[in-house]
Amino acid sequence: MTDAEDRKPQSDEARSAFVHPSGLMAPADSESSTTSEFAVPDGLAVPKPGTESETTSEFALPDGLDVAPPPAHEPEGSAFSTPRTYSARQAAAFTPPTGVPLVRLTKDVPWQDRMRTMLRMPVTERPAPEPVQRHDESGPAVPRVLDLSLRIGELLLAGGEGAEDVEAAMFAVCRSYGLDRCEPNVTFTLLAVSYQPSLVDDPVTASRTVRRRSPDYTRLAAVYQLVDDLSDDETHVSLEEAYRRLAEIRRNRHPYPGWALTAASGLLAGSASVLVGGGLLVFVAAAVGAMLGDRLAWLCAGRGLPEFYQFTVAATPPAAIGVALTLAHADVKASAVITGGLFALLPGRALVAGVQDGLTGFYITASARLLEVLYFFVGIVIGVLTVLYFGVQLGANLVPDAALVGDPRPVLQITASLGLSLAFAVLLQQERSTVLVVTLNGGVAWVVYGAMHYTGDISPVASTAVAAGVVGLFGQLLARYRFASALPYTTAAIGPLLPGSATYFGLLGIAQNEVNRGLTSLTKAVALAMAIAIGVNLGSEISRLFLRIGSAEKRRAAKRTRGF
């Protein structure tokens, strides 16, 4: 073929076969053209290209695939809020290798046990509170809720309640109004509570100082009832209603007048003198001495003197009456008179509370309480020693162990123990509905002690510990049955077990320059006091085994550290 034939125009089919790579038909020209393998076949529509080059991402969704729209933007949640992917069934995946037992808090147990269980747990393991509606839509008034919890804690701590139970009550108040991330802190004179909404919000902290203490168990029971109502999901108590009820509790008068308290102190001293071997005359002398001491202590309190001097002054009349009967050569047991007066003054309530705080891990509060007991005891020692010293100088023949001479008198001593517990309950301003129960509890305690010590010839320390354990066991069971504090059922019942005679004989030995014998007797008194306190606490812990809550599973935060 010649060059002229090569330059001859091609046919329409040949011209239509030449397509530009961009997808546009290339115009036919006079030059030779070839067909590309990337050419778009005839009849296929190709979109026009844009002004800029476009690329397709490999992550792009293919056309025609239906995909759900993305979720709306969620607000930033709290650092303490539960993640959306969290499931309670998979909670063990976030626990240590040994696993943490699942906590089940039933509603038919007292609030003390439920709150104590959660306080002993780390914050991250505490179960979330159930939704409550005791405030408006804007949320609870955090400062007012914290203030309410502090005021309730103040009344409980001033009434002699243990630090652990005070913290449980404060936590229950905060949790009942939706403030679950609260940390209460209780010491001997200071109450504090802090609330942290989240990691990004500022914490709120409030504190309150306890300056006065008054053993009014009627007021204590009313406060417990208020906290129980606040913790009940079926009882809706607003903040205003809670403040109103708290004000009524503070304004309520004591259930017993002043003359009844003075008579109760006399009954307590007289019953204690009968327990250690005294008769009718000894009963009257001890009662008169205790009532005189009580009136002198009230006079000192009205003049603003500290309690140390009040105890010192109150201890002198019984000791003076005992020395006077000895100098008069009356046929009475002066030692029983002085011992009965000491029973009415020994701070058994503060001792039990101090040892309980120490056993539950509140060492600062326990040290302060025990130091207070030591000061009271020193005041009693000074008052009695002063009278005994002058009595010995005047020729009073005070015979040691004279009060313990004689055979046991079970019926008379049991009756005296009942009267002692009854008088102690009145002095503690208990509710009239609890007086009979605590009186019977004190009688049972003395029966156990007498059966072990007099019949079984067991040491007085072991007998006292077992009897105190029975008191704590029954007291805690009665308290849990009535959803109340255990103090009204245990404190007065330990009255017959107080080491009044050992204390007196120790002081008498020191006054007669027999220091070794005196210190030995005082050491026995201390051992008896510790046996009472530990026995009451141990009985309380044993009683929790009979409850649906309170097993070792709920004591994870109280696990022993083995010294480190």
- Give the residue with greater pLDDT, 20 vs 269: 269
Nearest CA to 319 out of 263, 273, 260, 261 is that of 273
Residue 98 pLDDT level (bands cut at 50, 70, 90): very low
Average pLDDT over residues 181-201: 85
Nearest to 24 by CA among 47, 1, 5, 56: 47
pLDDT of residue 506 exceeding 60, the answer is yes
User: What number of CA atoms fall less than 13 Å from residue 421's CA on the CB side?
Assistant: 28
DSSP 227-246: HHHHH-TT----HHHHHHHH
Decide if pLDDT at 403 tops 60.
no
In this prediction, residue 49 carries a pLDDT of 57
pLDDT at res. 199: 72
Of 23 and 242, more confident: 242
pLDDT band at 91 (very low <50, low <70, confident <90, very high): very low
Mean pLDDT value across residues 439-443: 91
Half-sphere exposure (Cβ direction) of 466: Cα atoms closer than 13 Å: 15
SS3 435: helix
71-80, 459-468, 531-540: which is most confident: 459-468
Structure tokens at 351: 């001792």
What pLDDT score was predicted for residue 21?
46
**Between 16 and 271, whose confidence is greater?**
271
DSSP label at 216? -
| Percent share of the chain, pLDDT over 90 | 10
CB atoms < 10 A from the CB of 33, how many?
15
Indicate the DSSP class of residue 455: I
Higher pLDDT, 358 or 331: 358
Mean pLDDT of 175-194: 87
Token look-up 């509140």 returns 362
Q: What are the E-state strand segments in 94-220? A: 182-186, 190-195, 204-209
pLDDT beyond 90 at 151: yes
For β-strands 190-195 and 204-209, DSSP reports them as antiparallel
Sign of CA dihedral 404, 336, 409, 472: negative
User: What is the rounded CA–CA span in Å between residue 525 and residue 464?
Assistant: 11
> pLDDT: is 321 or 39 the higher one?
321
Cβ atoms < 10 Å from Cβ of 387: 24
Q: Highest mean pLDDT: which of 82-86, 179-183, 441-445, 505-509?
A: 441-445
| CB count in 10 Å sphere of residue 549 | 20
Q: How far is CA 71 from CA 68, 81, 429, 555, in A?
A: 9, 20, 63, 43
pLDDT at 484 over 60: yes
Q: What angle do CA 424, 365, 231 make, to 5 degrees?
A: 75
Tokens of 235: 């009882």
**Spatial distance between the Cα atoms of 486 and 474, rounded to a whole number of angstroms:** 9
Phi/psi of residue 15, each to 5°?
Answer: -70, -35
The lowest-confidence range among 12-16, 60-64, 279-283, 476-480 is: 12-16
What pLDDT shows up at residue 418?
Answer: 92
pLDDT of residue 550: 41
